[in-house]
Structure 1
Amino acid sequence: MKTCILAVLTLLAAFTMNSTLNADSNSTYNFDIQGTVIDATPLYNDEFFDLLKKHAEGTFKIDPNHAKQFLSEPLPGIVVTLQGKSAVMQTITDAEGKFEFKNLPGVTKDTAIKKFRTEKYEISAQIPIESEIAGDTNTVILKQSVILNENKNIKFDFRSDLITVKGKITDANGNPIADALIIGQMEINDLGSMFRPQVVKTTSANDGSYELKGFIPPGIRQTAGYLNGGNPQANEGSSFFLVIVADANAFIQPKENIPRIPLVSEELLIAARRYHKVLYDYVCSLQDPNRPAKNYEEKPNLNLPPSVGNTINVPDIVLIRAHSFQEE
């Protein structure tokens, strides 16, 4: 609380000092941009599953503060770039993932037109990622725009587990359909219109291929419950299944050709199976020790899509020519 009050007083003092500039001439108010780059990818490592096992057995209680270490960690050494109308700057995040750009022109009073001009800056963070399963390395660039009318504090939440969905659009003869609008929308359990489903759009390429990028994966507990036969969308606001709709000129997508797939990638499935097995083994340990041990089981026919790493591959979506559909 003392830190927050001190920050507010500092900001007010800075603004008051700049406000004393000559009102009859052009005046510029300078401000700072501070920020943090965080890896918000859930960390499902050996320690996590060891604590989960102890938590199930009642020998350890995972409280919210302890769980934070598995949900986020600072990213040091990240290149952060600031781009303004007349300025380009770069800096590197420190050991706590923090960065700062100081004394930037923010608001300028233009006496000629008797108006204030506000500077806009774009901040980008370049984050290298390597998939442990796919074995490839990419650079993800996160961007934010800032209207600098006061000191600003921004946060980049990076996730390396965002899911990409790939597929192809064809006609009934297997010919690719280009320039089709592809909409991937998460189903959502929403009884009162309080929640908005994630929607990603793109268009198909000349060969009919498409990529829908940036889907937030379901939770590990939610996915493990699905493996056990539970309803992954039982809770209000929960999402689990992805529906893909294609819209192309002179074509129709029959209802039976609308994919509805569990948004479960290979990386999520590996972690969810491990989560499920920890709880499965614990439940089995509570049963009569004289009964034969049961092997780990999953509910059959879950229709999990093929995937590599965090990329899901969807079977071709076949569209029917509008006149053919009407003739039927």
Structure 2
Amino acid sequence: MTAKKPTVPTRSGADNVPALDIAQMLGGHSCPDWLKDEAQSLATAGTPWHRIAAIGLLLRLWIPTDRSEKQTFQQALITGAPIPVKDRARAWLETLSQDAIASFEADAIERANALYSSIDALTQLVAADDPQAANTAQTLFTARDDLSSVQAALQVRNAGERLQNALPALDHHFGTHGDVFDALDIPDTPRLLAAAIADPDVVWAPCFGLFSSADPEADEPWYIDDTEAAMAVGEEEDDDSAEDDDSAYDWRPRTPLPTPIQAAATHATPNPSWRFADDAKKWIAVITARPSRNELHCTLLCQGDSTMPDAHLWLFGQKHPLPKGDKLAEFSMSLLAAHQADPSQPQLAVEWPDGTQALLHPDP
């Protein structure tokens, strides 16, 4: 007994979708090998649906692998400068007719509906100890990821609202079958891992040992605020402290950190980010909270023609040397360390050898 892979015929409105050349989309820019292979496989699968999924996959998960390209890419994310690979993908999508876009959304909803019965069929495979159950589960996860890619493509055309509204119920159905997926040793793939890192809420994150807030019983945003989660990121359990202080492992700051960081305590998105700048707008910092990885990540950009001087960055009580001569620097610390930061130390500032500082403030 095997579960059928969901198949949906392509609608006539999508017949005139042009061919998709992934190499042309990349335009010579570096790309993870797995992403290039996945996108190429989708682009040459022979149906317009798969071409749309390929474009959406690039929009969601492409980042350059070359070091200098990566710095340029990160600067573009901060400053809003053009990103050629993604701009070419968007331009390709703009060539499609409104009828084609509507057809792709209708197809996506049918594919989402078909996944319900496929998930139920997987339960029967697991009950029968079918050796193909794990691979079937992987196929279902990939099919769900295709829907996210198509959704990303539709959003470029200001479409996809019906699909967006349909996906939470599907994810809930995945979640109610969590025990089925937990019973399997599902082989991971670079694509599924990359998608889970980009969005820890994807339904397969728990199967690969990653945290996820996609709990069908959860009503509140997920945070690292219990003993089990803290131990999973390397903390030691302390029964006494856990009883005395329910927030012993809560990453949310006790100290007077900048207001946007405090806002993470109630932020509903998986990886909230905030932008900071000094008064002269010479320094731009983008800080991202990643609760699923117990990480606070900071990207610091030196604006204009200048490069990093002989100076240090204060990041929530920790002092880091800047890479002299570079335009961009990256720093990370644990959310727990940020939570416990010494309020007497600078929270976010560039400091020169003579002790003068440029304080960074929220920059909406």
Q: What is the TM-score normalised by the length of structure 2?
A: 0.27
Identify, as 1 or 2, the structure richer in helix: 2
The one of the two structures with greater contact order (alpha-carbon pairs below 8 A, sep at least 6) is 1
